[in-house]
């Protein structure tokens, strides 16, 4: 038997080869389509949000500081006091000496008067002009004046003071209702919480400084060694001479303390250790009762 080999038509394709090429083309089409879908998803669905559309935590915190400063500065005041000190000295009384009179000898004891001025801060706690400050800011003052944030100055009078707590309330008679501070609760404050101090250090009114509550329940003794203050808030917010009586605030703009003292070796000024009298529920009640008692006597 003879076998004839028929040559393949150059233009013809084997059936298997035809199926393989069709499968390859289909896979390429599907791959292209899938790739397009993935690219579209990345472009539209998975595209990251622009950074500027989401405020950073630092920017949000800065906004909180600005808000508190704007809200509270109008209720923080500058307090200036004048005190007359009289003392007996022995010397030549040149103002009353007359060699032809009986005022002889010229060296004798006489009264010398000296005027001392000081400054501090305070915070308005009622629309009718009651201002909370430190007792030591107004102690012994013969003249008290209060300057508001709008730079208007009013004479003030001391209405109540608690030297043991180092708190005092003075009264001014303004031309209309005044903005007032919101008193908070220092008992709820945590160590590490933000703290904002506003006052008049060295006479620079409306100065805002920021720090944290460094500790609670501090006990300090004054330089004289007599007075002891307990349960104080410690803060590293910058407090200097003139800040006394001004508010220490939380991020809600509530007064959580009244700035009282600093630890300052050799009087060098702020070194990051300041103290404030905590404002809590018992203290708020005492302040409100004192003001109500003064009003009832008016």
Calculate the CA dihedral of residues 37, 43, 47, 53 and round it to 10 degrees.
-150
Q: Which residue in the list 118, 126, 214, 244 is annotated as catalytic? A: 244
The structure tokens listed for 239 are 């407090």
The 3-class SS string of 152-219 reads CEEEEEEEEEECCCCEEEEEECCCCCCCCCEECCHHHCCCCCEEEEEECHHHCCCEEEEEEEEEEEEE
CA atoms of 77 and 54, how far apart (whole Å): 37
Do residues 237 and 210 make contact, with C-beta atoms less than 8 angstroms apart? yes
Residues 6+ apart with CB under 8 A from 89: 109, 110, 111, 112
Q: Are strands 143-147 and 182-183 parallel, antiparallel or unpaired?
A: unpaired
The helix/strand/coil state of 236 is coil
Residue 89: CB atoms within 10 A of its CB come to 10
Please say if 166 is a catalytic residue: yes
Q: Which residue in the list 166, 200, 214, 236 is annotated as catalytic? A: 166
In 3D, which of 89, 98, 169 has the Cα closest to residue 129?
169
Q: Which residue in the list 136, 200, 214, 236 is annotated as catalytic? A: 136
Please say if 70 is a catalytic residue: no
Calculate the CA dihedral of residues 258, 264, 270, 276 and round it to 10 degrees.
-10
Please say if 98 is a catalytic residue: no
Residues annotated as catalytic (active site), given as ranges: 136, 166, 244
């Amino acid at each position: 038997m003879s076998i004839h080999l028929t040559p393949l038509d150059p233009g013809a394709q084997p059936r298997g080869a035809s199926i393989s090429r069709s499968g390859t083309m289909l896979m390429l089409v599907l791959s292209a389509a899938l790739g397009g879908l993935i690219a579209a998803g990345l472009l539209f669905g998975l595209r990251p949000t622009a950074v500027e559309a989401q405020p950073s935590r630092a920017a949000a915190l800065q906004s909180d500081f600005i808000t508190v400063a704007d809200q509270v500065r109008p209720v923080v005041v500058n307090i200036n006091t004048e005190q007359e000190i009289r003392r007996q000295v022995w010397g030549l009384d040149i103002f009353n000496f007359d060699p032809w009179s009986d005022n002889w000898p010229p060296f004798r004891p006489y009264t010398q008067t000296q005027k001392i001025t000081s400054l501090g801060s305070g915070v308005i706690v009622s629309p009718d002009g009651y201002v909370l400050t430190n007792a030591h800011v107004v102690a012994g003052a013969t003249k008290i004046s209060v300057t508001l944030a709008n730079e208007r100055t009013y004479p003030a009078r001391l209405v109540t003071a608690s030297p043991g707590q180092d708190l005092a309330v003075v009264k001014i008679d303004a031309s209309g209702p005044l903005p007032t501070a919101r008193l908070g609760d220092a008992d709820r404050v945590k160590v590490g919480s933000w703290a904002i101090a506003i006052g008049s250090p060295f006479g620079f009114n409306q100065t805002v400084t920021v720090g944290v509550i460094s500790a609670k329940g501090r006990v300090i003794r004054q330089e004289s060694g007599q007075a002891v203050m307990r349960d104080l808030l410690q803060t590293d917010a910058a407090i200097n001479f003139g800040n006394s009586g001004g508010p220490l605030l939380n991020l809600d703009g509530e007064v959580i303390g009244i700035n009282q003292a600093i630890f300052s070796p050799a009087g060098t000024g702020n070194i990051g250790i300041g103290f404030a009298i905590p404002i809590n529920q018992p203290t708020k009640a005492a302040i409100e009762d004192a003001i109500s008692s003064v009003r009832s006597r008016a």
